[in-house]
Chain A
Amino acid sequence: MADILARPDGVAAWRRNWAHAVLPLAILAATLFIQGPLAHLPDWAVVPLADWVGGGLNWFAREATIGGVKVADITRALATAAEMPIDWLKVLLAEGWVTGAGFNKMHIAPPLSWLGVILATSLLALRLSGRGLALLTLLAGAYLVFFGLWLSAMTTLASVVLCVITALALGLAMGIWAYRSPGAEAVLRAVMNIMQTVPVFSYLLPTLLLFGYGPSAALFATVVYALPPMVHATVLALRSVPAETLELARMTGCSRAQTLLKVELPVATPRLAIGLNQVVMMTLNMVIIASMIGAGGLGYDVLRALRRLDFGAGFEAGMGIVALAVVLDRLTQVAAHNQSTGRRGLWKRRDTAIAVLLLLVPTAASLAVPAFATWPDGWTLTTAPFWNGAVSFINQNFYGPLEAIRTATLLGVMNPFRDLLLAAPWSAVVLLVALAGYALGGLRTAFSVALLMLFIVVTGYWEAAMSSVYLTVLSVALALAIGLPFGIWVSAHPRLHQPVQLVLDTLQTLPTLVYLLPAVMLFRNGDFSALIAIVSYAIAPAVRYGMAGMAHVPSERIEAGIMSGCTPWQTFRFVRLPSSLPTLILGINQTVMMALSMLVIAALVGTRELGQEVYTSLARGETGPGIVAGLCVACIALVADALLKSGAARAARHEGAVHV
């Protein structure tokens, strides 16, 4: 019945699509005849933007003055100021109070004992949430202690805490500003979009130039990275405050400040908490990269372990980051949830006293029993030999079949696709993309995607960008092919939801390098290892959106389908899939964004594309090319975003709202 009804419409649609399909084909055919500057931009036409940006930044960081004060002096003063609280937290959590140095080093007071910190945090978890979270906190703490990761974890925690507070405060302020002033919002949204899509490595070097080497540079880079979701969440959260509640504020005669502090922010707290949560997760994502520019801690442990090819130790330290992330994530979530549901008064004055006792007694005891301050090296556990052995075992026994898969994929799919993209003339590709933009979103979309693509052309990164596109397209295809069906399957099994969420959280917070190096052992340096790394990271959003898309199909529609006599497959095909299409397209969008954000990391296993350009210019200390290549990555991301969002909007027009 559905088929018969659909046919006339379907034929029309097919005709439309046919028209859409012929034009690209015609263009592709034309490309065979396109030669010269329209195929490959001559060198003289390339705008030396990288040189200008590099020169400009160097001037800004070294010579520029504001009101007679050198910019460099201002930023350095900021860096010094930022370092103070980090140092203070480190003294408290990790290092203890120390005077003198070298041979004259003297410990005056020990840091807070691990036992005290774990017990006090567990008490907090118990009061805020319950036994489950308290147990999780205990386990995570025990993991960090028994595996000898405690001191590093506390160093990391010190900088994470400061990063989160800074990003939270700045994000709130900017979000409130954007919420109140539409002009500011437009500007901020554009800046945030770029900040979110430019790879971190691009602005690492400018950060170093401005703030000097060390933990404060890491702090600033992390804040820049973690800020956009907080600003975004703040605007959304404030917008979500019901109109009636705002009217209440006006009717009771609240001043602007009263409206903000007593009405808007408290009511928006649950959604603000989503932002806080994202900030925490993104800050922990940055731990590894921050340790590259002097933040130390667990990230540094991972790097050190991997340098000596001790994958097991790297994995353990990486799981330490995950443990920290999971506890912080759950604690912030539960605190925010309590706020929003008004579960208050859970933490009593007596609890504060108990927590102080829990912190102080073991710390005092550590003066007599050193094991309370630092878990003795001899008592630590390690599973590293097992993991190393496992990698080694697979390497020696299964290398043959793995190599066969790698070779087949590389020669059969990856290389031909890359060659095709590299051979296509830029003019034809830009035209095609603009056409797609027109078909999906109209003239405006077509115009903006064409402009973004032209930026890549004129800055001279076209070929590197095409290599990036090739890697991204293949990784996204693979991630979706695995992730979406899996997510859809999981959505039908509620019991699996929690464990799958935990696995996804782990995949997204476990530093990529931890599984990148074993991948290199099995699949060598090159694009195939990069593909695996990108897929393993980008699969998380694919699974998440697969689950979310199915979960939000209105149950009435499903019931209607079942009552019409649909088989389970028909229900899926005719009811669930069309209903969840907008959400699934957004999932594809997120997967693309994740894949692009991984390109720079993939450069660490020897790809040759924009990510490598960014990474290499960081290593060589060339500011300009790093930023411009980073902007090119952002351009690709924005083009993909524009096309997919228009696609999702089109799908949503037919299927109702998007549920995310």
Chain B
Amino acid sequence: MKRVIASAMLALTLGAASPSMAFEPESDQPIKLMIADWSSMLIDTEILNIILSTYGYNVEKVVADDSARYPGFESGDLTIALETWQTTQDKAFTASVATGKVLDMGELGPHAKEDWWYPAYMEEKCPGLPDWKALKDCAAAFAAPETAPKGRYLSGPVSWGGHDEERVKALDLPFEVVHAGTDAAMFAELQSAYERKAPILLWIYEPHWAPTVYAGSFIKFPPYEAACYSDPSWGENKTAAYDCGKPEGWIKKMAWAEGEKVWPCAYDIVRKFTMDGKEVGELVYEVDVKARPVEEVAMEWAKKNEAKWRSWAACAQK
């Protein structure tokens, strides 16, 4: 409550001094910010929420699934998403933008990476790491009783896709792909293994708190190119696609195209909204490891960086 009252007082003083009170939003229709089930998106979306609602916009947060979002954006059920990862959404995002109903609002800033990952202590048991070819010889080191003699690779939930079965086949890796049920179940197994210094090989993505808490590295596969996924003749295996690592790359902001006409100024703010990769990692750590509420962490950032975000909102400070 102290916190709440303090922020209310702050709001009062700021409100009195700032020109933002004078700004009239273009429309009082709700701007629907999409949130999904990972922390960085929750935090940066809350920051955007603070900024937009400071200028009087009617903002709603709605939960949507990463891959299931496109119909929502095309119909206007969702207005803005701050994170669209090239690693998993490249194709779907490009296709959706091509319909003309969805806008590419530029990159958010952080760099997305995801791939097979192992804890540092496994380097002793499998000396050739992080090179992927080492996996061919030390499958036994990663084996579980039910997969032996093959190694066990813990992939993400089935819904994430990721083409790991195809990758194993294309690169002829002696591994069995086991899918985790959920993100949390995947990291639960990592924590269990890490505590016991037991073998584990799994799918990890960044920005995420896990790489900051657990020491380890990504496997170095042949780097991804679009052709690798579409053209069998590309790369190591001439007869199969997916003989490379997972794509890495941008995280983009997206928006419902019609909204440009409804809230031009808000769209301008979103276009200018950027975050630093390292900064996001730290905020995620605060939330995921220190268990602080998202709202608190976001408000703290907003106070610290007020000058920055007010500069993004030039259109609202006539």
Asked whether the complex places CB atoms of A and B closer than 8 A, the reply is yes
What is the interface of chain A, defined by CB distance below 8 A to chain B? Answer: 62, 100-107, 110, 205, 212-214, 292-294, 303, 305-310, 313, 366, 370-371, 373-374, 376, 392, 395-396, 399, 403, 407, 410-411, 415, 513, 516-518, 520-522, 524-526, 602-608, 612, 615-616, 618-621
A residues less than 8 Å from B50 (CB atoms): 102-103
Interface centre among A303, A307, A518 (most CB of B within 10 A): A307
Extra inter-chain contacts (16) besides given A100-B56, A525-B186, CB under 8 Å: A101-B49, A104-B11, A107-B5, A212-B77, A214-B63, A307-B288, A395-B195, A395-B196, A517-B184, A517-B188, A520-B181, A520-B188, A521-B191, A524-B178, A525-B154, A606-B185
Say if the beta carbon of B302 comes within 8 Å of chain A: yes
CB-CB < 8 A to A602: which residues of B?
181
Q: State the Cβ distance, A347 to closest chain B Cβ, in Å.
A: 32
Contact B11 A106 (CB under 8 A): yes
Distance from A8 Cβ to chain B, minimum over Cβ atoms (Å): 51
Do residues A309 and B67 form an inter-chain contact, with CB atoms below 8 A?
Answer: no
What does the 1/0 interface line of B186-223 toward A look like (CB < 8 Å)? 11110110011010000000000100000000000000
Provide the residues of chain B in CB contact with A526, threshold 8 Å.
Answer: 146, 178
Q: Is B60 an interface residue (CB 8 A)?
A: yes
Q: Are B51 and A106 in contact (CB under 8 A)?
A: no
Q: A407-B146, A521-B188, A621-B68 are in contact. Are A105 and B8 (CB under 8 A)?
A: yes
B288, A308: Cβ atoms closer than 8 Å:
yes
7 A-B residue pairs with Cβ-Cβ distance under 8 Å, sorted by A, are A103-B53, A213-B62, A213-B78, A313-B291, A525-B185, A606-B180, A621-B69
Which of B13-21, B97-105, B118-126, B259-267 forms contacts with chain A? B13-21
* Chain B neighbourhood of A307, CB < 8 A: 37, 39, 183-184, 288
B72 proximal to A (CB < 8 A): yes
Please give, as numbers and ranges, the residues of chain B lying within 8 Å of A415 by CB-CB distance: 146
Of B54, B65, B68, B180, the residue contacting A104 (CB under 8 A) is: B54
Annotate B37-66 by CB proximity to A: 1 below 8 A, 0 otherwise: 101000000000111111110011011111
A194 CA to B193 CA, complexed, in Å: 42
**Nearest Cβ on chain A to B46's Cβ, whole angstroms:** 10
- Chain A residues with Cβ under 8 A from B196's Cβ? 395-396, 399
A608 to B180, CA, bound (A): 10
A619/B54 contact (C-beta < 8 A), A293-B63, A374-B1, A407-B146 known:
no
Q: Which residues of B contact A (CB under 8 A)?
A: 1-2, 4-5, 7-8, 10-12, 14-15, 18, 20-21, 32, 37, 39, 49-56, 59-60, 62-72, 75, 77-78, 144-146, 154, 157-159, 178-189, 191-192, 195-196, 198, 209, 287-289, 291, 302
Given contacts A214-B62, A525-B180, contact A407 B145 (CB under 8 A): yes
Are A525 and B146 in contact, with the CB atoms below 8 A? no
**How far apart sit A602 and B158, CA to CA, in the bound complex (Å)?**
13
How far, in angstroms, from A309 to B52 measured CA to CA in the complex? 32
Name the A residues within 8 Å of B10 (CB-CB).
103
Chain A residues within 8 Å of B70, by CB: 621
Which of A102, A104, A213, A396 interacts with B64 by CB under 8 Å? A213
Q: Do residues A102 and B52 form an inter-chain contact, with CB atoms below 8 A?
A: yes
Tell whether, in the assembled complex, residue B54 and residue A101 are in contact, meaning their CB atoms are under 8 Å apart.
yes
Residues of B within 8 A of A517 (CB): 184-185, 188
CB distance from B93 to the nearest CB of A (A): 14
Q: Which B residues are CB-close (under 8 A) to A214?
A: 60, 62-63
Is the CB–CB distance between B188 and A618 below 8 Å? no
A residues in contact with B159, CB < 8 Å: 615-616, 618-620
Q: Which residues of B contact A407 (CB under 8 A)?
A: 145-146
In the complex, what residues of A have CB within 8 A of residue B287's CB? Answer: 308
Whether B21 contacts A619 by the Cβ 8 Å rule is no
Closest chain A residue to B2, Cβ basis: A370
Docked Cα-Cα span, A555 to B10, in Å, equals 73
Contact pick for A107, options B8, B32, B146, CB 8 Å: B8
CA distance A102 to B11 in the complex (A): 8
A213 & B186 in contact (Cβ 8 Å cutoff): no
Shortest distance in angstroms between B3's beta carbon and chain A's nearest beta carbon? Answer: 8
CB distance from A528 to the nearest CB of B (A): 9
Most buried by A among B8, B69, B192: B192
Residue of A nearest to B65 (CB): A619
Contacts of A619 in B (CB 8 A): 65-68, 157-159
Given the interface pairs A309-B188, A309-B191, A525-B186, the reply to whether A213 lies near B77 with Cβ below 8 Å is: yes
- Across-interface contacts of B11 in A (CB, < 8 A): 100, 103-106
Q: Contacts A62-B75, A306-B184, A411-B145; is A371 near B54 (CB within 8 Å)? A: no
Residue of A nearest to B72 (CB): A213
CB distance from A447 to the nearest CB of B (A): 36
Give the 4 A-B residue pairs with the shortest CB-CB distance, closest first: A621-B68, A101-B53, A370-B1, A619-B159
Q: Please, how many angstroms separate the alpha-carbon atoms of A565 and B185 in the complex?
A: 56
The reply to whether A376 and B2 contact each other, CB–CB distance below 8 Å, is yes
> In the complex the two chains form, what is the Cα distance from A634 to B159 in whole Å?
23
Which of A313, A518, A603, A620 contacts B68, CB < 8 Å?
A620
The answer to whether A618 and B65 have CB atoms under 8 Å apart is yes
A105/B7 in contact, CB under 8 A: yes
B17 to chain A, nearest CB (A): 11
Which residue on B lies nearest to A369, using beta carbons?
B1
Q: How far is the CA of A307 from the CA of B20 in the complex (A)?
A: 37
Q: Is the CB of A516 within 8 A of B185?
A: yes
A residues less than 8 Å from B184 (CB atoms):
306-307, 309, 513, 517
Report Cα–Cα, A394/B5, bound state, in Å.
Answer: 44
Q: In whole angstroms, how far apart are the Cα atoms of A102 and B8 in the complex? A: 10
Q: Which of A101, A103, A309, A525 contacts B181 (CB 8 A)?
A: A525
Q: What is the bound-complex CA distance between A177 and B192, given in angstroms?
A: 54
| A103, A306, A308, A615: residue with the most chain B Cβ atoms closer than 10 Å | A103
In the bound complex, residues from chain B placing their C-beta under 8 Å from that of A104 are 11, 14-15, 20-21, 53-54, 56
Contact in complex: B68, A308 (CB < 8 Å): no
Interface residue from B54, B154, B180 paired with A102 (Cβ < 8 Å): B54
Residues of A within 8 A of B288 (CB): 307-308
Given A102-B51, A520-B185, A525-B154, check contact A213 B146 (CB 8 Å).
no
User: How close is B262's CB to chain A, nearest CB, in angstroms?
Assistant: 17
Cβ-defined partner of A525 (8 Å) among B7, B52, B178, B198: B178
In the complex, the answer to whether A521 meets B15 with C-beta atoms within 8 Å is: no
Measured between alpha carbons, how far is A308 from B291 in the docked complex, in Å? 8
